[in-house]
A and B are shown apart, each in its own frame.
Chain A
Amino acid sequence: MKKYIILMLMAFVSTVSLAQSTVKGTVVDANGEPIIGATVQVKGSAASGTITDLDGNFTLAGVPAKAQLVVSYIGYISETVSNLNNPKITLKEDSQQLEEVVVVGYGTQKKAHLTGSIETVPVDEITDLGSSDLAGSLRGLINGVSIESGGNRPGDASTLSIRGADNLSALGVGSQPPLYVIDGFILDANAFNNLDPSTIESISVLKDAAAAVYGARAANGVVLVTTKKGKQGAPQISYSGTFGFTGAVSTPKMLDTYNYGRLWNAVRMADDTETGINPRYDLFQADELEAMKSLNYNLLGDHWKTGVTHQHSVNVSGATEKVNYFASIGYFNQDGNLGKLDYDRWNFRAGSEVKVGQWVKASLSVSGDYGKKNAPLMKVQSSGSDKDYLSLLTHPGYIPETLAGHPMAKYGVSGDELAANQDYNYEYLQNSSDYTRNMNSNLYISGAVDLDFGFVEVLKGLKARVSYSKAISQNKTNEFGTQFAVYKLNERTGSGEHLYTALPGAEDYYNETILADNNFLMGHGNAKVSNGKDGGYISRTMNRSDNYQINFTLTYARQFGPHSINALFSLEKSESEYENLYGEGTKPYEFSTGQANSIDTNNGGITSSDWGRTESGTLSYIGRLNYNYMDRYLLEFLIRSDASQKFHPRNYWGVFPSVSAGWIVSEEKFMKNIKWLDFLKLRASFGLTGRDNIAAWQWMQTYSIALDKGAIFGDDGLAGSHITMNNGGRINEDMKWDKSYKGNIGLDFSVLQGRLGFNLDAYYVWDRDMLLAFSGTIPTTVGATGAPQNYGEMNSWGSEISVTWRDKIGKDFKYKVQLNTGFSDNKVLQAEWPTSDYFRGLIQGERTDRGQWGYQCIGMFRNYQDIEEYFSQYNISTYMGLTKDQVRPGMLIYKDVRGQLKADAANFEGADKYNGPDGIVDGLDLVRLSNRSNPYHFTLNLNAEYKDFAITAQLGASWGGYSFVPGSALSPGDGVASNNSLGYKRLEYVNMPSFWNPDNMYVYDDIYDAEGNLLMKANHDAHYPNLRWTNVNAQTSSFWRVSGTRINLNRVTLAYKIPKNICKFVGISSARVNVTGQNLLSLYNPYPDNFIDPMMSYGVYPTLRKFTVGLNISF
């Protein structure tokens, strides 16, 4: 861990000596290697100092005789030396890092003096990852913080949630992002994710009542980021860059074309009672199947490519005693793996701090980023744009994407269009002129002036600071969608006319007749397909937000003998505004310039526009008092008062106090004898935090202007405008922020000379007055249904355990193993209770995660006898909506476990509200198939160094719950719910995962083609039910249940520090190369036929495995 050691300049006044001399010396580490850039200062005189050169040597002139020198370097314990005679100073590594300083919000604190639960992030581990997703980079590194992936496409960002805040969503609380504070400026997740990791000095996470310093916005925890500043010493220029490749963690295994054809036949013929099946045209014929053996259009394979990503940043920094500066420019680029997707981002940051005199300091910084994302527009008939992957993955292998220059629709056996998705032609859309282009830029400016009142004796220790920060964000998206034609063949090949390719020996006929222009008909009902909106569209979205924050802060820090006092008062004011503008035109000309002037208005093209504005403001007072006695007894009291315009003026202000205390037991005299114990601290905190991330103005009556459908006056008047109350006037003037009381006790200790460290935290959170939708009984005489009210109550608790072992083996091998684990749980006390499906909905006193529910599978109907027996044995009247004569062999059998609601259901809870089995198997018969999602987990972070080599690895594991074969793999669902009228017919254009091997699937009867060739044999002993009956078989059930256990090797970094002498030879001060792999391996795959990797989901853009090579050079 790279942490920062501050100089503890004591207020000693050194005796002035007339004799001065020049001191030369060397600074080395424990291994005798020179330390470059170590700071050497005369004690008591910050004005005179220098840094060591490439050989660790320094020369300091004008050193008074008898002066002491203080030598310090990041990561090492500072040394004070009195010997000025050519000293060779050996700095020891600061393994305990007790002097480490942690950013705690409105200031810093020594880690040893922390009383709250505050985690810091090993920043240097994330700089190697070369990722645009900062939140995602933190996965597994912070105990008690969970990271939810936001997708794997370039530019997608993960979301971060602290101590299970995301569980609140079960109660209907909106999103629960933590508060992000970057260099003291409260910003959003987007600003956080856009940071260039190489410019980050530290990240700390406030998990408990320590967050109360952020008051009404602190209940979801706080993430604090500080960026780098120049450090005293010679100017430093460093470069860090990564270059990497991304590929899918795995590609789902799909059926080959031959087996797809057989699967179709087996599914088509699954219903032995169905009549009117044409054995020639409705089934793949033997000759066709034979041909399909060699037909495997693998569109995903064709279009998927290895992505290239690279990132570069150059930092310039340095400091003299008067000025420090830091400047950085960074560039990130990631190609898509699919299509012409392309995302890049520029980052810059420049800051300087100037000491105007001994007591005044001014600082200024500018930073920002500029991102661009371009992609083809891929929305067929107003579907989402993310259909590309699924469409390619499930493309049946016998249908070409393009034939003789014609984009082909995916029309299957019937040759009909069943759904618009069949018109999705990836290649055409990729190469068309349609686009979606996004640009995003953020600019941050901040300045501050610091005044130290040290020049007035009585005010010693008092400092004042005024800071101002401003952020300007702009975002713009242009889209252009046109119409295009897809084609089908009038006549196809094969004896059943199902194929698109030449049969052996019939190539001439194929080329002359099948590929003749007149054999191509326009698909989609002989109409063009629209990309995005009917008739095509162009649109532009632009928005801009401005916000600023002013802080006026007074701090006072003074030591009175053994009493140390640290006090803070801050006034914080912020305002923000956001404006957006949207313009759209439908039916653009094909030659559209993308501007409003190219709308085909004669053809019904309509332009429309929309714009809006929001603004907000907050005002806060923050006070904090820290007291410590003899570095042993620690006490912190803080209070914050916040005003927010989100609430009614009489509810503007909220007060959020918190108190915490710590006891460093190891500092006690009676502990000094216990040699094996290095450090022991007990701490506890309790405080109130708020959650105000609700939509503003809900307390206020607002109105909407409706232009039409009003009342009429006069002869043939227009049903014109009228003004309606929004939400039917459903407002609650009394609404406030949620209250979250957070209690935490912690224990930190290290033993065996710092080799073994423990951090243990246990917390309890009382969420009260949660603002939830209220659907309870409101007298109708009020005239409105319930507005959101502050009535939700939930308790959460948990613990976080972190064990670190660090040691050396021999002289050169150092290693560290850190195990993070913990558990968490909660119970809901008051919420908007469900009004149906009581058995699986929220229940008072139970946890939010009610587990996974599904049917209990007790077998498969393998013949009609089974159906008879099942119906009579259990007195079944309706089975999954089917009467007995509609049930078929090849369906799974589910157990009837529950009946209708009891008449006196109100007297019971949960599942007890229901009667026993009622002979109807339906949605009321779900049983709990998994108690909760994986409750147990750990992350193992390993670091090892051998000479100039270092390795870092992270292994994550979770277990204890069950998961299921994803529903989208259980029916040819086309990405849409399977239970609709299309049923199995979607299989015409959707290939299935490999475990649907027709040889393993139930087949009722032998299947013959029109020529009498046996296509498939009956198979009553198959493991899998027939895919035909998706309405029954694709339900979540115990049949599809698999272990929830996941063990993943998340990442490994191998680094090599190029030896100093080589560096010196090429004229650089240091260099480091690393190779990093991310999302490397899953060590356990529970899925049938391992058709997908557990690190990814089926049918969506896959999790990417990424290998990067990184280079860090300092000049």
Chain B
Amino acid sequence: MKRIFNIGALLLAVAGATVTSSCSDKFIEDKKNYTNTSTEIYDYYSGADGRVNEIYRISLPNIQAGGGQIWQYNSVGRKDNHSQATEEYYGFSTFLDPNADMNTVTGKSQGPGYFNSSWARIREINEVIHGINGGKLSQEEKDVLLGQVYFFRAWCYYMMFRYYGSVPIVTEVQNPVPEATTPRSSAKEVYDFIIKELNTAADLLKKKTIEGKWDSGEWGRVTTGTCLALKHRVMVLWASPLFNRDNDESRWKDAYETIKTELPIIDACGYGLAYEDNPGVNGKGWANMFLDIVDNPEGVFVSCYNTKTPDLTPDYQRNNTWEQSIRPANALGNNGQTPSDVIVDLFPMLDGKRPNSYNNYTVLDASSKYNYDARYPFMNRDPRFYRTFSFPGEYWRFDGDPNTGNSFNPYIGKDYILWNYVWYNDPAKYNDPTSSDHFGADNLLGSVHGMYIRKFSDDLDVRNGVKNYNFNTAGKNVGFRECKTMTMEIRYAEVLLNYAEAACGAGDLTTAVEQLKRIRKRAGLGSGNDGMYGIDTKALGQKEACMAQILYERQIEFAYEGKRFEDMRRWLLFDGGTGFASIGAKALTGWGGNTCTWLGFTPYGDATKNVRNDQIEFRLRDDLNYTDGTSGRTWTGDVTADQATKDNTNPDPLLKANMGKLTRAERDAFAVDINEKVVTTPLATQLENLKTFYSTYLVRKTLKGDSYDSATGSVPVYNKWNARYYFWGLTQGEQINNPTLPQTVGWEDYHKGGSMGTYDPLAETSTAAE
């Protein structure tokens, strides 16, 4: 019996132990998810930093995102719907297409769907902020990380703010349930939120980026200076006519005072106007400024790239494809990018004045001493012209050999001259703008463009042989694909021009002009007799002249940097702001009720003003009576032959080998070198020489850029803007997803049977569901 009790006691003891140990579900809480990492990552700097890096990845402007609809990304100056809505590119953007009005209805010509695509990023950012705050890092570490993330939250909200004016503000990670709605905050609330976030971010990063500095391997991370520079951009935006319809001067003053105070802080972060004291020959310093990477004082907010090869595991590749996209086909580039005729014709002359033929910013004097002749657009231009465009007869060197024994490409990289004049094989098409049945010289043949965009190009001799790309002659990364040139969303020039604009708006025109002078001096423009660097002296006394000068300067300085569309929207340059009343939005009362009139600018989207963009090309003159080349577009020789033999099979009718006028060497002697030869032969002399070549052999032809009337195909049609495009509406899908959000004024409201929305983002109160 005793034994039984012993065993019974033992059993009870075991049972008791089991019960006490089992009653708690603590052991369940101890279970971990090993398949994935958990929020514990925020307890470690490497983990939290990995999350912050993700925020960089998804938020940074990315040039690879390129082309077409780029609603998800900031414009970086490629041929996208934003840039196509400006003077920079031809081809109707959906914003200007007279054939199809942009709307919110699913199907044809639907407007931007930027709204829906932003929130995943904001969710990530909110999650990181929440995670870092809940993690176990030291406050100092948290500050550095949070500072960067707050910056990007502000950046994301700024992106929506500028397009939608008023958006919901979400700062929490919400459960994905239908009830998780957030109303639209007023534009003022969103503005205040962004400013607050950027101040917070700037503060958090102070210790790291003013007292200290990111390592060179961390170059590209945001700093206090980045935060402040973005804040200044946002403040100027808030003061701009788009938001400041009554021209409330306090907004300008606010921006002016803030920038004035904070400019030294930005400088303290290591930023400044690159090459300001070393502009070099013909804008060489300015060109070089785009190519430096680490510690480039110009790069206030940048995206970095590398030269790595793709398709490896892990895939570390992130190339800047711009160099590849702008280089001509016979340099193994990706065919190049074509500027519109309008922007070529509007660049300032060598003395910094606008060309006399350019009838915009007419508040400025058209007093250039150089007469602009459209037949020779390269004559006597602002040095930035030669660094922004390439035209037939211009050296454009690089390090590499595209003539690898298996092609008819004529030059090795260090001798590369762009000869992109064209000929037609049918005289009927010589003057037909709709025909692009042309062939380009030097093996460009069918893939020729009349002009090429050259901006940011890594010219061989700009940096004395240092280069940002690996040149490949074959394979997936052919040409300049592997390129690490960084893109700059905010560069120091913008910091100064924001300052100038704020100062101008606030009435300090002298300060405004000072900033313009710094920019122009760095660009290689001469100071002129009056020391004004071509700036109209009226800018010192007349606000509209000063503002026009600033906007014009921005247009030139930032061409192909994705800024122009925003400038045009901010300043209502599509219609001067006259259309707001017609859609029921807050009317423009400042600036005389019409910013275009105020600035002397032709409303870019006014269908009655016949604005459109076409292409320029230089074709062989009719009187050359050429016949060769008509036989076709291809070379027929042996690709491995030496160059002389190749010339015999060159279909170019200008060349002697084809009964033409010149040998290749004779032709090449006309070429202009904006870098090396300038030292021995002044640029002006070289250009005169080239002008002779043009006048003898070439004629400028306008080739259709923007589309023609779709019915006939032969009648040009013109830019057409709708006032509602200034603030984007929610597309049908966005409205379906967010049924409680009111539709922006002027856009179809899906929930109200397609009648127009009435919500004005400039209303000062937030609005929940109506």
Contacts and interface: CB of A to CB of B under 8 A. Distances in A.
Question: Which 9 interchain pairs have the tightest Cβ spacing?
Answer: A783-B123, A702-B36, A711-B56, A723-B50, A708-B314, A783-B119, A719-B318, A613-B34, A718-B316
Given A466-B11, A729-B127, 8 more contacts: A702-B38, A716-B306, A729-B120, A779-B180, A782-B176, A783-B121, A786-B177, A787-B176
Contact of B176 (A700, A702, A723, A778): A778
A723 B47 contact: yes
Contact of A714 (B60, B178, B303, B304): B304
Contact of A786 (B126, B176, B305, B739): B176
A612 interface: yes
Contacts of A711: 53, 56-57, 60, 220, 303-304, 318
A713 B123 contact: no
B33 A696 contact: yes
Contacts of A715: 216, 219, 293-294, 304, 484
Contact of B7 (A356, A616, A712, A718): A356
Contacts of A728: 120, 123
B4 A455 contact: yes
Given A552-B18, A571-B19, A783-B120, A617 B218 contact: no
Interface of A: 356-360, 449, 451, 455, 464, 466, 550, 552, 571, 573, 575, 612-619, 643-645, 649, 652-653, 696-697, 700-726, 728-734, 774, 776-787, 789
B14 A571 contact: no
A722 B53 contact: yes
Contact of A697 (B4, B35, B180, B308): B35
Given A703-B41, A719-B318, A779 B123 contact: no
B25 interface: yes
Contacts of B308: 716, 718-719
Nearest to A723: B50
Given A700-B38, A777-B739, A649 B56 contact: no
Nearest to A620: B22
B737 interface: yes
A730 B33 contact: no
B217 A614 contact: no
Nearest to A734: B175
A734 B179 CA distance: 14
A612 to B, nearest CB: 6
B315 A552 contact: no
Contacts of A732: 175-177
A785 B57 CA distance: 21
B39 interface: yes
Contacts, number: 263
Given A360-B7, A645-B29, A732-B175, A717 B304 contact: yes
Contact of B180 (A612, A729, A778): A778
Contacts of B739: 777
B28 A617 contact: yes
A357 to B, nearest CB: 4
A623 to B, nearest CB: 14
Contact of B316 (A619, A720, A774): A720
Contacts of B624: none
A714 B313 CA distance: 21
A153 to B, nearest CB: 30
A644 B173 CA distance: 25
A70 to B, nearest CB: 26
A980 B116 CA distance: 36
Interface string B1-32: 10110011001101100110011010111111
Contact of A466 (B14, B41, B306, B734): B14
Given A550-B18, A732-B177, A783-B122, A360 B4 contact: yes
B28 A619 contact: yes
B303 to A, nearest CB: 8
Given A702-B36, A781-B738, A782-B176, A552 B181 contact: no
Given A464-B11, A723-B53, A782-B180, A703 B37 contact: yes
A619 B31 contact: no
Contact of B4 (A359, A725, A789): A359
Contacts of B116: 780
B72 to A, nearest CB: 13
Contacts of A649: 28-29
A451 B3 CA distance: 13
Contacts of B54: 706, 710, 722-725
A550 B22 contact: yes
Contacts of A550: 18, 22
Nearest to B305: A712
A718 B53 contact: no
A777 B218 contact: no
A707 to B, nearest CB: 4
Contacts of B19: 552, 571
A614 B31 CA distance: 9
Interface string B177-219: 1101110000000000000000000000000000000111111
B51 interface: yes
A774 B177 CA distance: 9
A613 B220 CA distance: 38
B174 to A, nearest CB: 5
A575 B737 contact: no
A705 B57 CA distance: 13
Contacts of B294: 714-715
A619 B123 contact: no
A360 B318 contact: no
B768 interface: no
Contacts of A644: 28
A617 B27 contact: yes
Given A552-B15, A615-B34, A703 B51 contact: yes
A834 B60 CA distance: 37
Given A550-B18, A552-B15, A714 B4 contact: no
Nearest to B31: A645
B256 interface: no
B394 interface: no
A782 B307 contact: no
Nearest to A704: B36
B265 interface: no
B268 interface: no
A653 B25 CA distance: 10
A713 B120 contact: no
A773 to B, nearest CB: 12
Given A615-B32, A725-B127, A729-B127, A781 B168 contact: yes
Interface string B315-355: 11110000000000000000000000000000000000000
A571 B33 contact: no
B245 interface: no
A302 B294 CA distance: 72
A964 B124 CA distance: 50
A717 B18 CA distance: 57
A708 B50 contact: no
Contacts of A571: 18-19, 22-23
A574 to B, nearest CB: 10
Nearest to B115: A780
Contacts of B738: 779-781
B736 interface: yes
Nearest to A616: B31
B407 interface: no
Contacts of B307: 716
B18 A725 contact: no
A779 B121 contact: no
Contact of A357 (B7, B51, B176, B484): B7
B170 interface: yes
A730 B219 contact: no
Interface in B611-650: none
A711 B177 CA distance: 31
A354 to B, nearest CB: 11
Contacts of B18: 466, 550, 552, 571, 573
B517 interface: no
B219 A713 contact: yes
B175 A643 contact: no
